[in-house]
Amino acid sequence: MKAALPTTKEADADGVGRAASAAESEALPIPQLRQALDDLFTPSPVRYWLDFLASALCFYGGFALVVLAPLALPLKLAAFAVSALGLYRAALFIHELAHFPPGRMRAFRIAWNFCCGFPILMPDFLYESHVDHHRRTAYGTADDGEYLPWGRPGSRPAILMFVASSLLALPTGV
């Protein structure tokens, strides 16, 4: 830890301790927390590469076993589960790539796109708008493109269209 977090008691000018106000004690000291945890926000290229390559290996290896290997059904189901989880884990790196500044881990971005992004028709440039979702002016508002207001009155047609489009996509994958 780089910095100590402030305590709930503070000394006044006379050196006598006083309890912090209710608002001060309930508010999180975001700048101090950020400084104390700053080393956890620095990406490790080795971890990224190892995690992604292991995930891609699980995906492609499991998929190859399901399609090509003459295995019994339980083994094929296990290989399918490994493949699906590997794909899910590998695809999640798109979120990390969206938060990288331009030019950071360029080789990783290229490798991810060729090994995962392009094959599943989800290259990282299609997710660039994700950063807008994290802006305080957009998060949870009508300008937040990542969330639909499902709970609002009159959203039933949108929900039905979402479900129908999801189900209609299944036959196209066969």
pLDDT (tens digit per residue) in 91-118: 999 988 988 888 888 999 999 999 999 9
User: Rounded CA gap, 134 and 131, in Å?
Assistant: 5
User: Rounded CA gap, 99 and 124, in Å?
Assistant: 11
- pTM listed for this prediction: 0.64
pLDDT in tens, 30-66: 888 888 888 777 778 899 999 999 999 999 999 999 9
